[in-house]
Amino acid sequence: MTDASDDAKNQDFRPEARAPRGFADKRARDLRAEKAILEAVSAVYERYGFEALDTGAFEYADALGKFLPDSDRPNEGVFALQDDDDQWMALRYDLTAPLARFAAQNWETLPKPFRRYAFGPVWRNEKPGPGRFRQFIQCDADTVGSARPEADAEIIAMAVEGLEAAGLPRGAAVLKINNRKLLNGLLTGAGATSEGQKLAVLRAVDKLDRLGVEGVRLLLGEGRLDDSGDFTKGAGLAGKAIDSVLDFVQAGVGGRSATLNNIAKVVAGSAEGDEGLEELAKIDAALTSLGVADDQAIIDPSIVRGLEYYTGAVFEAELLLSTTDEKGNKISFGSIGGGGRYDDLVARFTGKSVPATGFSFGVSRLAAALRAAGREPASAARGPVVIINFDQAHMGEYFAVAGQLRAAGIPAEVYLGTSGMRPQMKYADRRLSPAAIMLGGDEIAAGTVTIKDLDLGRELASGVADNAAWKAERPGQQTIPRGDLIAAVRKIIGG
pLDDT per residue, tens digit, the chain (495 aa), is: 556 666 656 677 889 999 999 898 998 888 888 999 999 999 999 999 999 999 999 999 888 865 554 455 566 788 989 999 989 999 999 999 999 999 999 999 999 999 999 999 999 988 887 667 899 999 999 999 999 999 999 999 999 999 999 988 888 899 999 998 988 888 777 777 677 787 888 788 888 878 888 888 998 888 898 888 788 888 888 888 888 888 888 888 889 999 999 898 888 778 888 999 999 999 999 999 999 999 999 999 888 776 567 889 999 999 887 776 666 667 677 788 999 999 888 888 989 889 999 999 989 888 888 887 777 766 556 789 999 999 999 999 999 999 999 999 999 999 999 999 999 999 999 888 999 999 999 999 999 999 999 988 666 555 544 545 544 444 578 999 999 999 999 998 875
One domain for residues 148 and 226: yes
One domain for residues 364 and 391: no
Q: Which of 378, 397, 428 marks a domain boundary?
A: 378
- Give the per-residue pLDDT at 460: 59
- Give the per-residue pLDDT at 5: 60
One domain for residues 460 and 351: no
Q: What pTM does this model have?
A: 0.81
With beta carbons less than 8 A apart as the criterion, state whether 104 and 322 touch.
no
Q: How far is the C-alpha of 352 from the C-alpha of 341, rounded, in Å? A: 16
DSSP bridge partners of 477: 452
Expressed as residue numbers, the domain containing 425 is: 382-493
Q: Which of 346, 378, 410 marks a domain boundary?
A: 378
- Give the per-residue pLDDT at 473: 47
One domain for residues 349 and 459: no
One domain for residues 281 and 393: no
One domain for residues 282 and 349: yes
Q: What is the CATH number of the domain that holds 111?
A: 3.30.930.10
With beta carbons less than 8 A apart as the criterion, state whether 358 and 315 touch.
no
In one-letter notation, the amino acid at residue 408 is A
One domain for residues 370 and 398: no
Q: What is the CATH number of the domain that holds 400?
A: 3.40.50.800
14 in any annotated domain: no
One domain for residues 405 and 336: no
One domain for residues 434 and 363: no
448 in any annotated domain: yes
144 in any annotated domain: yes
9 in any annotated domain: no
- Give the per-residue pLDDT at 396: 95
One domain for residues 61 and 180: yes
Residues contacting 212, CB < 8 A, separation 6+: none
18 in any annotated domain: no
8 in any annotated domain: no
Using alpha carbons only, what angle is made at residue 215 by residues 210 and 216, rounded to the nearest 5 degrees? Answer: 85
- Give the per-residue pLDDT at 474: 45
Number of domains in the chain: 2
One domain for residues 396 and 308: no
Q: Which of 378, 413, 440 marks a domain boundary?
A: 378
One domain for residues 208 and 105: yes
7 in any annotated domain: no
- Give the per-residue pLDDT at 196: 78
11 in any annotated domain: no
